[in-house]
Amino acid sequence: MSVLQIPFEDAFRFDPSPTFAELRENQPVARVRTLAGAEVWLVTRYDDVRMVLADPRFSRAAVVKQGAPRVALAKPMPNSLTTTDPPEHTRLRKLVTPTFAHRRIERTRPWVAELSAQLAEDVARAGDGADIRQLVALPLPIQVICQLLGVPYEDRERFREWTELGYSMKMAEKDLVEDAMTNLTAYIENLVTKKLANTDQPAEDLLDELVRAREEGDRLSQDELIAFGVNLLVAGHETSANQISSCVATLLRWPENWAKLVADPSLVPSAIEELLRFNRFSEVGQLRVAVEDVELHGVQIKAGEGVMAALNSANRDPRAYDEPDELRLDRQDNKHLSFGFGPHFCLGAQLARIELQESLLALVRRFPRMSLAKPAAELEWRRVLVSGLAELPVNLGLEGLEGLEG
């Protein structure tokens, strides 16, 4: 069996590599070599991806063990939600779930909507050529996660650089990635230490709440607090920032879709779900390690071997979706896997949905004639673990519009 290099050569662009479709049809369990040099199995079909994500025979805790295969340059952190299995994962998740409960997260919507409208005005002031990534996609989730975690907003430039490097898929940045994650961990450790020293003060954020749970006798260690803070800070703004840019760019790539949302903003929630399915979160997949031998499609996966679940490929599987390569903003019963599946389903999924919905609503309302300032094929992509554009310059289409609205 030949071994493919992943990310594939034609990665980091709007359309997925045709290799994923070829593998889905002809080799649903394929051997690939990761950027870190590990050989793992790549699973590409929808049902198989769901199985790998939910089946206890495929472990997340095993990815941090000595000698475990790695997907990217950054080493996964132990003691975190993303690198534990039940029952330890269940204990950790139970501690933080109340803060991320749907009803509680919905309380942030009015503030996120107001912030989105303010950022849209920043775009208007910048005029044609404004970069949506810099003016909306980055500042929105950074401000939200700072407030949620209790991270000083004035430190945003420091940790933004660290988190962007943390997801790098450039071998030339390997040393920079390690330094960035070391610095970010030290930053969060310092923040946690300060909060531990001030437990007599009222809780104002998520880390405050978790610190107090520890003081009240729950088994949440300082290392677990630090790991949670690091993972949430990285995932909580880098992922959302990339998806905001990708969603807006994909709509503007086919202007009729932008026009549909301008005509009927009530389509935005279903449009976001479809864009989450249609766009790629990653050029690779979520890694698990088999803890026992498993046979899948005639392939023997041995205990200790890595298995990469390709969410982006599963989201385009014709076995799961009618015409999966079509963007349908009103697609119903959209059970995409962009937030994962099973025990590790994304804890911040509802928060991400609110950020995506409200930022898109603000832009659609403010700029009904928005268009790309350069052809989609010329937009630059970042080589990072979570797919994202490096830029999104737009023309606002405001000329003559203000007078009409008056």
346 is catalytic: yes
The Cα 216–Cα 212 span in angstroms is: 6
| 8 A C-beta contact, residue 381 and residue 389 | yes
Out of 61, 146, 227, 235, pick the active-site residue: 235
H helix or E strand, kind and range, residue 3: strand 3-5
Task: Confirm if 385 and 284 have CB atoms less than 8 A apart.
Answer: yes
**Is 338 one of the annotated active-site residues of the chain?**
no
Which residue out of 346, 352, 362, 373 is catalytically annotated?
346
Could you tell me which of 301, 122, 150 has the C-alpha nearest to residue 233? 150
The whole-angstrom separation of Cα 301 and Cα 55 is 14
313 labelled catalytic: no
CA angle centred on 336, ends 333 and 341, rounded to 5°: 115
Are 301 and 43 spatial neighbours (Cβ–Cβ below 8 Å)? no
Active site annotation includes 238: yes
Catalytic position from the list 164, 224, 238, 283: 238
Q: How far is CA 363 from CA 122, 244, 394, in A?
A: 11, 11, 11
Catalytic residue among 17, 80, 240, 246: 240
Q: Can you tell me the distance from the alpha carbon of 286 to that of 402, in angstroms, rounded to the nearest whole number?
A: 47
Residue with tokens 């896997």, as numbered in its chain: 337
Say how many Å lie between the first and final Cα of the chain, rounded: 66
Q: Which of 224, 283, 355, 358 is catalytic?
A: 355
**Residue 157 designated active-site:** no
Burial category of 265 from C-beta neighbours within 10 Å (exposed 0-12, middle 13-18, buried 19 and up): middle
DSSP code, position 169: -
Catalytic residue list: 235, 238, 240, 346, 355
